[in-house]
């Protein structure tokens, strides 16, 4: 079906209410399932999702988190039954 699945997590997002880059979403092609986990600098999990339309809005327990760098861990299952594990960081800018 595909040579190499494409998975994208933005390296920054701006949840400031302007409807542009307000939410951090996983995007890609040939993704059947995924689990995205986001952690703060102390290693506390602040978000988890396995739904394409459920991205992170920069909040934790209903409160906005401050500007900063957050680590993500992503596990993807492709339609070809390949598992892709990816990690990196994204900067929250308010």
Tens-digit pLDDT profile for residues 32-90:
999 999 999 999 999 999 998 999 999 999 999 999 999 999 999 999 999 999 999 99
pTM: 0.90
Give me the phi and psi of 77, to 5 degrees please: -110, 120
Q: Which residues make beta-bridge pairs with 48?
A: 37
How far does Cα 33 stand from its chain's mean position? 13
pLDDT at 4: 64
Does residue 3 surpass a pLDDT of 70? no
Q: Which residues make beta-bridge pairs with 78?
A: 31
Does residue 2 surpass a pLDDT of 60? no
- Can you tell me the distance from the alpha carbon of 18 to that of 40, in angstroms, rounded to the nearest whole number? 24
- Can you tell me the distance from the alpha carbon of 52 to that of 7, in angstroms, rounded to the nearest whole number? 12
3: alpha, beta or left, given left = phi > 0 and alpha = psi -120 to 50?
A: alpha
- Can you tell me the distance from the alpha carbon of 43 to that of 26, in angstroms, rounded to the nearest whole number? 20
Does residue 1 surpass a pLDDT of 80? no
């Amino acid at each position: 079906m595909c040579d190499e699945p494409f998975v994208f997590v933005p390296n920054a997002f701006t949840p400031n209410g302007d409807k542009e880059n307000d939410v951090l979403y996983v995007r890609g092609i040939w993704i059947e399932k995924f689990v995205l986990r986001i952690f703060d600098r102390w290693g506390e999990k602040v978000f988890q999702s396995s739904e394409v339309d459920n991205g992170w809005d920069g909040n934790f327990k209903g409160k906005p988190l401050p500007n900063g760098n957050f680590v993500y861990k992503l596990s993807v299952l492709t339609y070809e039954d390949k598992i892709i594990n990816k990690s990196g960081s994204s900067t929250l800018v308010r």
